[in-house]
Amino acid sequence: MTDSVPTIYDVAAGAGVSKSVVSRALSGAPGVAPATLARVKQIAADLGYVANANAQGMSAHRTHTLGVFVRDAATPFYGHLLTAFQEQASARGYRVVTATGSGSFSLVEERRALETLVSLRVEALIVCSGALPVTDVLPFARRMPTVIAGRPERDASISSVYCDESGGGQGLADHLVGLGHRRVAVMTLSPTSSLTQAARTRAMVQRLRSSHVDVAEIPCEDFGGELDGVDSLVQAVLDSGSVTALMAPSDSWAVAVLEALQRRGLSAPHDLSVTGYDGVTPFLSELLGITSWRQPLGLIGTLSVDDVVDQIDGRSAGTRHLAVDGELLPGRTAGSPGEFAALR
Amino acid sequence: MTDSVPTIYDVAAGAGVSKSVVSRALSGAPGVAPATLARVKQIAADLGYVANANAQGMSAHRTHTLGVFVRDAATPFYGHLLTAFQEQASARGYRVVTATGSGSFSLVEERRALETLVSLRVEALIVCSGALPVTDVLPFARRMPTVIAGRPERDASISSVYCDESGGGQGLADHLVGLGHRRVAVMTLSPTSSLTQAARTRAMVQRLRSSHVDVAEIPCEDFGGELDGVDSLVQAVLDSGSVTALMAPSDSWAVAVLEALQRRGLSAPHDLSVTGYDGVTPFLSELLGITSWRQPLGLIGTLSVDDVVDQIDGRSAGTRHLAVDGELLPGRTAGSPGEFAALR
DNA sequence: TTGTACGCGTTATCAA
DNA sequence: TTGATAACGCGTACAA
């Protein structure tokens, strides 16, 4: 049933040469007679020979492999990053292996996943997690080039590529201010829940305040498991009677808010303006029309790979912190409060 | 900057024993004095020693690694599968490495990705692609246990775990018939585009016909790149004047249809009933309320891993073809045609 | 209980 | 242009 896998010795025997010649022929090294080269390639193909990357890694001290850690592959956000990593790594001659914390997002699980990557002797680490504390990554970063992708990080011993959270939060806040909102509710998160979502919501609050907007902060942790409790949150905002806009920490949360409105027969921006954050498919769908801030995940992925590969190749001196700009997605869920005021 | 990675020799030297003792101590093998065991573990921890999985694989002839090929990691559908693979593999004591065809979905790229997996000496293959022909997988399946996850496959030399496409297509068709639709448009796909989507839409058409429903088949390939051309498609359906429901091959297509309706100021089910397929977050959102057929991706992932791991362990004789049942998600985009007929 | 020695599949060095 | 041979880091019989 399961054939034994052919080795370099099988190819050598078939071609009537030593394994050294086979190695050189297949790796494109010079110093192989054209005739033998053709013969070796032929035999290798016939046998379906595929070199053992483990053995190659042992001997050559290089695996040409990048290790990617993602918190939750089921989220489109990380899915897009993964795709970008894979693509750019391939373009740069590297392979990607990924590991996740298998379901439960416990920190010990995440550490274990990182160790798996190390055991594979990846040449660099790309870490994608909004929650994993940098102190857990640092011990690995001492061992190999490491980049944190998708979230800001100041530690000098580690690179990071991310979409400027302050700029995004401010951009969305300015958008609402421009629309005329004077009293806005912001769903806030603590850094332990999500460093990125905490940063952007903090930026929203600050920008609104400095624009003389009355801000109601709503800590989301109080609202229990994931997206539950959004109902009561929305109800409270509605009951206030004066809040005209609600800023969510992500598109996913925004959808939950829109659902809660819908359950009450209400809608955005008619009864309440709503904004999200991330702007990635499938949430950026025209159908939903969420007013959001788009993070250029493809670019972030590309730059992350470039950063660590440059470090591996010695083309880059040290670590870098790269902030890329996001973009406002106007959408239809945020409008001018005046337009609908009369109807309330 | 980048420390050299400690090997088993470093630990042995630190503990004042031979590497054999270290190997046994760290692998939990019997025959190590309690005192030395503690000492070795301590030194290993101090050094941050992580065994080289490549070397282990060489020596032990086992990598405890499963290779997963996914067509497009950015799609939530595959994201959910990936998560399930990772979780169950971990529970069974295996590691997962994934590979994709890096952007362009050319068949040569996909073959190359599979070879990457083979070069890593994964012990089994899990293939997730709605398009990759089985003939491209067969040569690899001869080498190791292989399962095709998420799509039906009849070839006896390969396992498959999938959600019954016929049952799903029929279930949705029956739902529409039950609602009273007598003239339905079905967006069809050819097997070369997607084997699964082709199968389910075929089932829809057949079931509708055998229920004496008038069916209009709309080949989607005619409508160009991805979701473009949906506008003209929807327009044509609307122009027919008699079609009361449109069945899409996936939730993603359904969203495109709903968007096209929206652009015309129309909506479902008011002006046209619409159904999707897959029923996976974030498309199953209450907000959209798409009438769909849910595929139990978690279960498919779990069973896929179990299948190949059982084969590896010799606990399973041969290949199996496992069909799991999906589930109707009623939603709000499909209604009774009578309700709105007067308004048209 | 511990250590020695061999082999795993490659690459790389050095003679031939 | 080729072919031995030594590493690479680890597991594992086998000997001590």
Closest CA to A120 of B82, B52, B25: B52
> Among B55, B98, B255, whose Cβ lies nearest the Cβ of A98?
B98
- Rounded Cα–Cα distance for residues A227 and A259 (Å): 11
Q: Is A259 on the interface with B (CB under 8 A)?
A: yes
> Among A3, A142, A283, whose Cβ lies nearest the Cβ of B143?
A3
CA of A51 to C1' of D12 (A): 25
pLDDT (0 to 100) of residue A344: 43
> Which chain B residue shows the shortest CA-CA distance from A256?
B287
The alpha-carbon gap from B175 to the nearest alpha carbon of chain A, in Å, equals 24
pLDDT (0 to 100) of residue A292: 97
Contacts of A58 in chain B (CB under 8 A): 52, 54-55, 58
- Rounded Cα–Cα distance for residues A318 and A339 (Å): 53
Residue A161 near residue A307, CB atoms below 8 Å? yes
pLDDT (0 to 100) of residue A222: 62
SS3 A29: coil
Closest CA to B97 of B54, B153, B155: B54
Beta strands in A229-276 (DSSP E): 245-247, 273-275
B-proximal residues of A, 45-74, CB under 8 Å: 48, 50-55, 57-58, 63, 72-74
> How high is the mean pLDDT in each 10-residue block of chain A (344 residues)?
79 95 94 94 95 95 94 86 92 90 72 91 93 87 94 91 96 97 95 89 97 94 62 90 94 89 88 94 79 96 97 87 95 83 45
Which residues from 4-23 of A have any strand C atom under 7 Å from their CB? 7-9, 19-20, 23
- Rounded Cα–Cα distance for residues A188 and A307 (Å): 32
Asked if A262 lies within 8 A of B96 by C-beta distance, the reply is: no
Residue B42 near residue B17, CB atoms below 8 Å? no
Residue listed under structure tokens 């690899």: B140
The alpha-carbon gap from B229 to the nearest alpha carbon of chain A, in Å, equals 15
How many residues appear in chain B?
A: 344
Residue A307 near residue A147, CB atoms below 8 Å? yes
- Is strand C in 7 Å reach of the CB of B97? no
Looking at strand D, which nucleotides approach a protein CB closer than 7 A? 1-13
Asked if A282 lies within 8 A of B281 by C-beta distance, the reply is: no
The alpha-carbon gap from B181 to the nearest alpha carbon of chain A, in Å, equals 25
Closest CA to B40 of B70, B66, B10: B10
Q: Provide φ and ψ at A46, rounded to 5°.
A: -60, -40
B35-55 per-position pLDDT tens digit:
999 999 999 999 999 999 999
B307 CB neighbour count, 10 Å cutoff: 24
**Amino acid letter, residue A160:** S
> Among B3, B116, B255, whose Cβ lies nearest the Cβ of A142?
B3
CA of A92 to C1' of D5 (A): 34
Which of A64, A69, A97 has the highest number of chain B CBs within 10 A, making it the mutation to test binding with B?
A: A97
- Is strand C in 7 Å reach of the CB of B20? yes
Element (H, E) at A44: helix A34-47
Bridge pairing between strands A292-294 and A327-329: antiparallel
Asked if A118 lies within 8 A of B50 by C-beta distance, the reply is: yes
> Among B79, B90, B139, whose Cβ lies nearest the Cβ of A102?
B90
Nearby residues of A221 by Cβ (< 8 Å), 6 or more positions away: A189, A190, A193
pLDDT (0 to 100) of residue A317: 75
pLDDT (0 to 100) of residue B45: 95
| Structure token pair of residue B320 | 């199996």
- Is strand C in 7 Å reach of the CB of B166? no
Q: Is A287 on the interface with B (CB under 8 A)?
A: yes
The alpha-carbon gap from B209 to the nearest alpha carbon of chain A, in Å, equals 31
- Is strand C in 7 Å reach of the CB of A56? yes
SS3 A200: helix
- Rounded Cα–Cα distance for residues A308 and B52 (Å): 21
A26 CB neighbour count, 10 Å cutoff: 17
- Rounded Cα–Cα distance for residues B127 and B145 (Å): 11
The alpha-carbon gap from A191 to the nearest alpha carbon of chain B, in Å, equals 25
Asked if B74 lies within 8 A of A79 by C-beta distance, the reply is: yes
SS3 A294: strand
Contacts of A118 in chain B (CB under 8 A): 5, 50
Radius of gyration of chain A from its Cα atoms, rounded to whole angstroms: 26
pLDDT tens, per residue, chain B with 344 residues: 455 789 999 999 999 999 999 999 999 998 899 999 999 999 999 999 999 999 999 999 999 999 999 888 888 888 899 999 999 998 999 999 888 876 666 777 888 889 999 999 999 999 998 778 888 899 999 999 999 999 988 899 899 999 999 999 999 999 999 999 999 999 999 988 888 999 999 999 999 999 999 999 999 876 654 555 888 889 999 998 899 999 999 998 998 898 889 888 898 899 999 999 999 877 777 778 899 999 999 999 999 999 999 999 888 878 999 999 999 999 999 999 866 544 44
Nearby residues of A55 by Cβ (< 8 Å), 6 or more positions away: B54, B58
Helix boundaries (H) for chain B: 8-15, 19-27, 34-47, 53-60, 76-91, 107-119, 134-141, 165-179, 195-210, 230-240, 251-263, 297-312, 337-341
Burial bucket for residue A336 (CB in 10 Å: 0-12, 13-18, 19+): middle
pLDDT (0 to 100) of residue B250: 92
Q: Is B267 on the interface with A (CB under 8 A)?
A: no
**What does B102-145 look like in DSSP terms, one character per residue?**
-SS--HHHHHHHHHHHHHTT-SEEEEE-SSS-HHHHHHHHTTS-
B-proximal residues of A, 212-231, CB under 8 Å: none
pLDDT (0 to 100) of residue B105: 64
Whole-number Cα distances in Å, A47 to A8, A42, B119:
10, 9, 14
Residue A248 near residue A197, CB atoms below 8 Å? no
pLDDT (0 to 100) of residue B1: 43
- Is strand C in 7 Å reach of the CB of B29? no
Average pLDDT of chain B is 90
- Rounded Cα–Cα distance for residues B93 and B167 (Å): 34
Degrees to nearest 5, angle at CA B194 with B193 and B197: 125
Residue listed under structure tokens 């004047």: B241
pLDDT (0 to 100) of residue B104: 64
Contacts of B103 in chain A (CB under 8 A): 83, 86-87
Asked if B98 lies within 8 A of A97 by C-beta distance, the reply is: yes
> Among B73, B119, B255, whose Cβ lies nearest the Cβ of A83?
B73
- Rounded Cα–Cα distance for residues B143 and B132 (Å): 18
Q: Is A262 on the interface with B (CB under 8 A)?
A: yes
Q: Is B7 on the interface with A (CB under 8 A)?
A: no
Asked if A79 lies within 8 A of B79 by C-beta distance, the reply is: yes
Bridge pairing between strands B146-149 and B124-128: parallel
Enumerate the β-bridge partners of residue B239.
Answer: none
Nearby residues of B333 by Cβ (< 8 Å), 6 or more positions away: B254, B258, B268, B269, B273, B274, B275, B276, B288, B289, B290, B291
B-proximal residues of A, 163-222, CB under 8 Å: none
Q: Is B252 on the interface with A (CB under 8 A)?
A: yes
CA of B26 to C1' of C12 (A): 32
> Which chain A residue shows the shortest CA-CA distance from B318?
A1
Residue A257 near residue A230, CB atoms below 8 Å? yes
| Structure token pair of residue B149 | 């996850």
Looking at strand C, which nucleotides approach a protein CB closer than 7 A? 1-5, 7-13
Provide the whole-model pTM: 0.89
**What does B180-227 look like in DSSP terms, one character per residue?**
T--EEEEEE--TTT-HHHHHHHHHHHHHHHHTT-EEEEEEGGGG-STT
pLDDT (0 to 100) of residue B42: 96
